[in-house]
A = this chain, B = another copy of it.
């Protein structure tokens, strides 16, 4: 194989992303110059934040440029190195984006230990999504043992870690997920105390039943009606970490949050965060996560699309909640 397949942003979506917003091209595999390293990517990470980058609006990150390779985290193997810090065979995590090969000076590339866990975990539970769960729950929400922690998108890469970490800290963990299969997984496999199926049509009643002592911490991934239902169940001095609002990313009209007054009445702290703002917390978070995964205390699940050409479809599925656990694309 001498070509490097790449997926570029072809056009910016209005509302829902479609496959036509992407285009696939083949370019020559780059030859590393002195100081550079060439990596064959094994897995590409698909994450909701990418939807925001596709917009032409002010945001916390630089927008994705048209006709440029889509941004994204990758893990793969060094196949040629002219950089003394790396050698062929090293397994490295980086951000080469939606392409089969990456070539760079090695900045931001980290070698990972695949003796205890498979390399794909470094894009999920021991990577950005896991650190996101750790930071939002432990640094922002700071739950105390015995408190009730609720997390939306509970079977996803971030949500599944949030609930399990809450359990490790002695909390009652309640998930919100779409469909019986995901809810069963969250309770039976991951050990949450309860999970509310928001597609069942009884969101408020089911959430009330699952949180008999109210809600002390909420880890928000979705927004919309679920946010309103949760805020209505909050206790005094509760904390809300706003990590994502995936229900809004493709909406043409923003949802109007009707329970804002709960923030006043219950003296809630609501805080939005982006894990890349908190680089100082990555080392302690990654250490905890790796230990918990290696010792079997922190489980994870992956949905793996096969082949880069299927990345756009898999990404659209992710935005619609069709994945189950961490969404990856296997590139070889």
Interface status of A16 (Cβ within 8 A of chain B): no
Interface status of A144 (Cβ within 8 A of chain B): no
Interface status of A112 (Cβ within 8 A of chain B): no
**Shortest beta-carbon distance, A163 to chain B, in Å?**
20
Q: Is the interface of A mostly helix, strand, loop or mixed?
A: loop
List 27 A-B pairs, Cβ < 8 Å: A59-B265, A60-B236, A60-B266, A60-B267, A223-B261, A227-B260, A242-B263, A245-B261, A245-B264, A255-B256, A256-B256, A256-B258, A257-B257, A257-B258, A257-B260, A260-B260, A263-B270, A263-B271, A263-B272, A266-B272, A267-B272, A267-B273, A267-B274, A267-B277, A268-B271, A268-B272, A269-B271
Inter-chain CA distance A257–B265, complex, in Å, is: 16
Number of identical protomers: 2
In the complex, the answer to whether B254 meets A259 with C-beta atoms within 8 Å is: yes
Interface status of A244 (Cβ within 8 A of chain B): yes
Interface status of A248 (Cβ within 8 A of chain B): yes
Tell me which residues across on chain B come within 8 A of A264, comparing CB atoms. Answer: 242-245, 272
**Shortest beta-carbon distance, A56 to chain B, in Å?**
14
In the complex, the answer to whether B260 meets A245 with C-beta atoms within 8 Å is: yes
Tell me which residues across on chain B come within 8 A of A256, comparing CB atoms. Answer: 255-258
Inter-chain CA distance A244–B273, complex, in Å, is: 24
Which of A255, A257, A264, A273 counts the most chain B CB atoms within 10 A?
Answer: A264
Interface residues of A in 212-263 (CB under 8 A from B): 223, 227, 236, 242-245, 248, 254-261, 263
* Nearest residue, chain B, Cβ from A227: B260
- 12 further interface pairs, Cβ-Cβ under 8 Å (given A58-B265, A60-B236): A223-B260, A245-B264, A248-B261, A254-B259, A254-B260, A254-B261, A255-B256, A256-B257, A257-B258, A263-B270, A263-B272, A270-B271
